[in-house]
Amino acid sequence: MAADTFIAYVGVYDSVADAEADYDLVKDLHAKAGLIDAYDAAVVEREAGGKVRIKKKHETPTRAGGVLGAGVGLATGLVVALFPFAAIGGGLLAATAGGGAVLGALAGHAAAGMSRQDLKELGEHLDAGQAGLVVVGVSDMGAKIEASMRKAQKLETRQLKADAAEIEADARSTGG
């Protein structure tokens, strides 16, 4: 497997507004740097009763999620790996034709690209806040992404290895 190295950034926030503000800064950073295709991001909110909902997301269109129209990327996959029942927008992606299979494949790749301990720690960090921002980006943009996540109460980074070609092949075979 020819794994690509990505960095997962998980910011913990007191409010969804702060997480969305940093999401916009990360998006602006990549647009201005001409690297809009070099990251995936998801803003998550912890609702009453502990349910996690993905409020906003950006997927890299050059990788499996955007190319196949499934609307998910590695950041969304990582959120689902951390919180398997995370709702996306108004409903679960699994309700769409083939969407659940693609989401499962991406969650599997995201989980396989990190140690079990890293996944456990990231989930615990997100549990500590009302909102979170998960960004998966190319490793050479790390310092700039971290600087854009300035409203985070806590910021954790972990290396994530994934084979983009394998992700796309899995997504195609699951009907995405």
Q: How do the domains of the chain map onto residue ranges? A: 4-173
Enumerate the H helices of the chain as residue ranges.
Answer: 16-32, 64-67, 74-82, 99-112, 116-127, 142-148, 164-173
**pLDDT at 65 (0 to 100):** 41
- Residue 36 pLDDT > 70: no
3 and 161 in contact (C-beta within 8 Å)? Answer: yes
**pLDDT at 115 (0 to 100):** 77
Q: Whole-structure pTM over 0.85, yes or no?
A: no
